[in-house]
Amino acid sequence: MKIPRRALPLLVAALLLACNFPTLLQSPPPGGGEVPATSTPTPTAPASTEVPSPIPSATLSPTPSVPQVTPNSVNVNCRSGPDVAYSATSVLMFGQTAQIKGRNDDSSWWYIYDPANPGQFCWVAASVVTTSGNLAGLAVIAPPEAIVTNVTADVSIPSTVYCGGPNPLVFSGTITTNGATKVTYQWEVGGDRSNTTSAETINFKSADTKDVSGPGALSVDCGNYSITLHVLEPNDIAGTKKFKVKP
């Protein structure tokens, strides 16, 4: 088709406008401004605010400051004084601990709280126990004097008794100590202890019970009597036997 020459400029102008015209038209927002993007932005994860937990450190068991003892391998005797000559008054069991209160002068014995008798004390040998805690400053405890802990008296009456007598009686007794000591004693016949023998002594090398000879055979008439073995030293203690002589 032949285009008239006069229409040619109009055709060129139309072609130029077609090259700059957008393919998609979006209406501007009310009031003007930037057309919003059609794509949805990817959300950004918020920064974590959690505080990491600290790594736990190893727990160390502190050495106890209170001085204590425990048996090395077996149950051990707890004695009334710092020597095997003293009697055993309690036992520290294997696996058990006891607080140390003091020591003897060379630390060969420990003065501890008696595990079996609250408020009381006794002694254990350092050679059979293990210590822990601070031993510095422990008081030196003087060993107690051994004492007599028990006394008995007895009498042997003949099978045949004659009122108006005499009837020979044989007396005997025992003395028990809790350690090495010297014991002074006397025999007393009668309730008022007026008829006494001369004082005698007996030596104990360790805690022990010893037989004590009586005052000899006494001749008495029928009646009620008593015989007393009376310890004078190291402490005052007595054992009495009441008896009756009758046909």
pLDDT tens sequence across 143-200 = 888 899 899 999 888 888 778 767 778 889 999 998 899 999 999 987 444 578 899 9
Whether residue 41 has pLDDT greater than 70:
no
Q: Is residue 93 part of a domain?
A: yes
Whether the per-residue pLDDT at 28 is higher than 60: the answer is: no
Total domains in the fold of the chain: 2
**pLDDT winner (highest mean) among 6-10, 58-62, 73-77, 187-191:** 73-77
> pLDDT category, 29, cuts 50, 70, 90?
very low
Per residue in 92-146, pLDDT tens? 999 999 999 999 999 999 999 998 999 999 999 999 999 999 999 999 999 888 8
pLDDT score, position 38: 45
Asked if residue 170 belongs to a domain, the reply is yes
Q: Which residues contact 68 (CB under 8 A, 6 or more apart)?
A: 97, 98, 99, 100, 131, 132, 133
Are residue 165 and residue 202 in the same domain, yes or no? yes
Looking at the domain assignment, is residue 33 inside a domain? no
Residues 115 and 187 in one domain: no
Task: Determine the pLDDT at residue 10.
Answer: 60
Maximum mean pLDDT: which of 6-10, 63-67, 233-237: 233-237
Would you say 223 and 247 are in contact if contact means Cβ atoms under 8 Å apart?
Answer: no
Q: CB of 141 within 8 A of CB of 113?
A: no
**Which of 140, 156, 181 is the last residue before a domain boundary?**
140
What's the pLDDT tens digit per position in 202-215? 999 988 999 998 88
Does some domain include residue 221? yes
Q: By percentage, how much of the chain surpasses pLDDT 70?
A: 72
Residue with tokens 């937990």: 53
* pTM metric for this prediction: 0.57
Residue for token digits 């099978």?
159
Residue 125 lies in a domain: yes
Q: Is the pLDDT of residue 3 over 80?
A: no
Domain that holds residue 214: 148-245
Rounded average pLDDT over 27-47: 46
Domain contains 43: no
How far apart are alpha carbons 113 and 79 in whole angstroms? 12
pLDDT attached to residue 55:
59
Domain of residue 159, CATH code: 2.60.40.10
Q: CATH no. for residue 95?
A: 2.30.30.40
Taking the CA atoms of residue 111, residue 115, residue 120 and residue 121 in that order, the dihedral angle to the nearest 10 degrees is -10
Render pLDDT for 217-235 as a digit per residue (tens, 0 to 9). Answer: 677 778 888 899 999 999 9
Task: Please tell me whether residues 99 and 123 are part of one structural domain.
Answer: yes
Looking at residue 193, its pLDDT comes to: 44
* pLDDT reported for residue 126: 97
